[in-house]
Amino acid sequence: MKAAYYNGNKEFKLTAGTEVAPGQGEVKIKVAYCGICGTDQHIFHGVMDKRVSIPQVIGHEASGVVVEIGSGVDNVKVGDKVVVRPLNWCGECPTCEAGNSHICTSLKFMGIDSIGAFQEYWTVKARILHKCPDNISLKTAALIEPLAVACHDLRRGRLKAGEYAVILGGGPIGLLIAMAAREAGAKVIISEINEYRLKLAVDMGFETFNPLQGDIKAHVMAATANTGADVVFEVTASAPGAAIMTELLRPRGRIVLVGIYSQPQTINLFNFFWKELEMIGARVYEPEDFDQAVKLTAEGKLPLEDIISGVYNLTEIQQAFESFEGNSTAMKVLVQCEQN
Q: Which residues bind Zn ion (CB under 5 A)?
A: 37, 89-90, 93, 96, 104
- Contacts made by residues 206-212, CB under 8 angstroms, sequence distance 24+: 206/175, 206/178, 206/182, 208/170, 211/240, 211/244
Q: By C-beta, is 119 or 271 nearer to Zn ion? A: 119
Backbone angles phi, psi at 124, to 5 degrees: -135, 170
Enumerate the active-site residues. 39, 42
Least Cβ distance, residue 97 to Zn ion (angstroms): 8
Q: How far apart, in whole angstroms, are the C-alpha atoms of residue 27 and residue 66?
A: 7
How many other C-beta atoms can be found within 10 angstroms of the C-beta atom of residue 212?
10
Tell me which DSSP letter residue 276 carries. T
Least Cβ distance, residue 29 to Zn ion (angstroms): 18
Q: By C-beta, is 40 or 230 nearer to Zn ion? A: 40
Tell me which DSSP letter residue 132 carries. -
- Contacts made by residues 270-276, CB under 8 angstroms, sequence distance 24+: 271/246, 271/247, 272/246, 275/228, 275/246, 275/249, 275/250, 275/251, 276/251, 276/252
Least Cβ distance, residue 172 to Zn ion (angstroms): 9
Least Cβ distance, residue 54 to Zn ion (angstroms): 20
Q: By C-beta, is 186 or 317 nearer to Zn ion? A: 317
Q: By C-beta, is 18 or 105 nearer to Zn ion? A: 105
